[in-house]
């Protein structure tokens, strides 16, 4: 099989395609011949040495794939052989073959291509947890989706629109027309201006009830201040760490110094809540994740879950694919094809 290894911390040149023997599924596992692998921003942070959850180097990252089952471990029902599936992988998804425990595997809806199916797991489960499970967004509320043009951002637009909420989003200006066509009500250019005054202007000075913030650092302070009373801040990423151009540990130090310190008494008196989401730390909670995925698969059939693949690159061009995302050119998902 072919796998993409991160061989050292640095630029896309640290990604190397290597041959390895085909893995054999162990009891309770099945093997998938991968057609498409999802790229997530965390993979880029891992390559830069800015993702604490990443495996030790050299490593193969990749959180999700779609493909066809071709071998079964002991105890897996024979009916899985040959099925088209999509799956969560932790890690190893940057490959043309993966072995995955059965509980992380889902039937691929026939309406989706493998590219679209590989765009579902991380983006939509993260957005679902942020908006539905913990964020409790309702139709009379407003949400601010930072990085609205990212994979998670587009998933959040789908879910927010389904819930009937008012949707604000920050993104690079070139993406605004597309995001509005997808259902975003108000787009804010957060790179050319401070997004807080613009959000306040657009919301008539009220702010919003829910903010999805993967930027981290000082943005978390600003997001907290932009909440209405009863507002919730969902923190789920540190994209700004990669913006500083610093390597670790300096990048982490800079980030740590800019973090807010939330005071319980202030939270109480402000009638606000803060929470965190890290899907990568929920693997042991499969009993929660599967019903979320069932709801999302129902959304595919109903038409409100619309995975959007911006571009697909061959597995061998993984460096170009990641550089494309780092240059902020993607609107929605970028996938690798095997």
Residue 198: CB minimum distance to ligand NAP, A: 14
Residues 107-136 that bind ligand NAP (CB under 6 A): 122-123, 126
Encoded tokens for 253: 């130090």
Count of CB atoms situated within 10 Å of the CB of 75: 10
Encoded tokens for 110: 């026939």
Residues 33-52 that bind ligand NAP (CB under 6 A): 40-42
Residue 252: phi and psi, rounded to 5, are -70, -35
Name which of 31 and 90 has its Cβ closer to ligand NAP: 90
Residue 237: CB minimum distance to ligand NAP, A: 3
Residues 266-285 that bind ligand NAP (CB under 6 A): 277-280
Residue 179 touching ligand NAP (CB under 6 A): no
The stretch near ligand NAP (CB under 6 A) out of 132-140, 259-267, 283-291, 323-331 is 323-331
Which of 81, 194, 243, 285: binder of ligand NAP (CB under 6 A)?
A: 243
Q: Which residues are CB-neighbours of 258 under 8 A, at least 6 positions away?
A: 217, 218, 221
Name which of 30 and 42 has its Cβ closer to ligand NAP: 42
Name which of 25 and 307 has its Cβ closer to ligand NAP: 307
Name which of 271 and 278 has its Cβ closer to ligand NAP: 278
Residues 73-102 that bind ligand NAP (CB under 6 A): none
Residues 198-227 that bind ligand NAP (CB under 6 A): 214
The DSSP result for 139-160, as a single string, is TT-EEEETTTTSHHHHHHHHHH
Query: Omega of the bond prior to 95 within 30 degrees of 0, cis?
Result: no
Which of 144, 236, 255, 337: binder of ligand NAP (CB under 6 A)?
A: 236
Residue 279: CB minimum distance to ligand NAP, A: 4
Nearest-angstrom CA–CA distance, 257 and 234: 20
Count of CB atoms situated within 10 Å of the CB of 73: 16
Return the SS3 of 211. Answer: strand
Nearest-angstrom CA–CA distance, 268 and 273: 8
Which of 70, 84, 189, 326: binder of ligand NAP (CB under 6 A)?
A: 326
Surface-to-core class of residue 70, CB atoms within 10 Å of its CB (0-12 exposed, 13-18 middle, 19+ buried): middle
The stretch near ligand NAP (CB under 6 A) out of 10-18, 203-211, 225-233, 320-328 is 320-328
Residue 326: CB minimum distance to ligand NAP, A: 5
What mask of x and - would describe binding to ligand NAP in positions 145 to 164, judged by CB under 6 A? --x-xxxx------------
Which of 62, 67, 217, 237: binder of ligand NAP (CB under 6 A)?
A: 237
H or E segment at 44? Answer: helix 41-47
Nearest-angstrom CA–CA distance, 154 and 164: 15
| Site size for ligand NAP (CB under 6 A) | 28
Which of 105, 117, 171, 226: binder of ligand NAP (CB under 6 A)?
A: 171
* Helix axes of 121-128 and 151-163: crossing angle, nearest 10 degrees: 50
Residue with tokens 């990568």: 280
In the bound state, the residue with its beta carbon closest to ligand NAP is 237
- Name the residue among 170, 114, 177, 181 with its Cα closest to residue 143: 170
Please say whether the beta carbons of 168 and 143 come within 8 A.
yes
Residue 236: CB minimum distance to ligand NAP, A: 4
Please say whether the beta carbons of 208 and 143 come within 8 A.
yes
Task: Provide the binding-site residues for ligand NAP, judged by CB under 6 A.
Answer: 40-42, 122-123, 126, 147, 149-152, 171-172, 175, 214, 236-237, 239, 242-243, 277-280, 325-326, 328, 330
């Amino acid at each position: 099989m072919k796998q993409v290894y991160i061989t050292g911390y640095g630029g896309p040149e640290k990604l190397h395609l290597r041959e390895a023997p085909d893995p054999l599924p162990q009891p309770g596992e099945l093997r998938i011949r991968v057609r498409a692998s999802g790229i997530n921003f965390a993979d880029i942070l891992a390559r830069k040495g800015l993702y604490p959850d990443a495996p030790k180097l050299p490593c193969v990252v990749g959180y999700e794939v779609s493909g066809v089952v071709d071998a079964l471990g002991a105890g897996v029902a024979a009916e899985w052989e040959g099925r088209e599936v999509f799956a969560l992988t932790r890690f190893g998804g940057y490959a043309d073959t993966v072995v995955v425990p059965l509980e992380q595997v889902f039937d691929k809806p026939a309406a989706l291509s493998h590219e679209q199916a590989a765009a579902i797991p991380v983006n939509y489960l993260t957005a679902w947890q942020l908006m539905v499970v913990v964020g409790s967004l309702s139709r009379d509320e407003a949400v601010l989706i930072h990085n609205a043009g990212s994979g998670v951002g587009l998933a959040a637009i789908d879910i927010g629109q389904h819930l009937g909420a008012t949707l604000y989003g920050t993104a690079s200006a070139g993406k605004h027309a597309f995001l509005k066509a997808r259902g975003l009500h108000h787009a804010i250019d957060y790179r050319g201006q401070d997004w807080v005054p613009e959000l306040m202007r657009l919301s008539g000075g009220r702010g919003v009830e829910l903010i999805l913030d993967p930027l981290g650092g000082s943005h978390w302070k600003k997001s907290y201040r932009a909440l209405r009373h009863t507002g919730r801040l969902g923190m789920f990423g540190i994209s700004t760490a990669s913006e500083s151009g610093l390597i670790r540990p300096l990048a982490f130090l800079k980030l740590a110094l800019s973090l807010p310190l939330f005071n319980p008494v202030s939270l109480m008196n402000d009638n606000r809540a803060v929470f965190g989401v890290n899907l990568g730390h929920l693997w042991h909670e499969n009993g929660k994740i599967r019903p979320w995925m069932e709801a999302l698969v129902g959304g595919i059939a109903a038409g409100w879950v619309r995975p959007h693949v911006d571009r697909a690159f061959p597995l061998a061009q993984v460096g170009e694919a990641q550089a494309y995302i780092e240059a902020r050119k993607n609107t929605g998902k970028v996938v690798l094809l095997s």
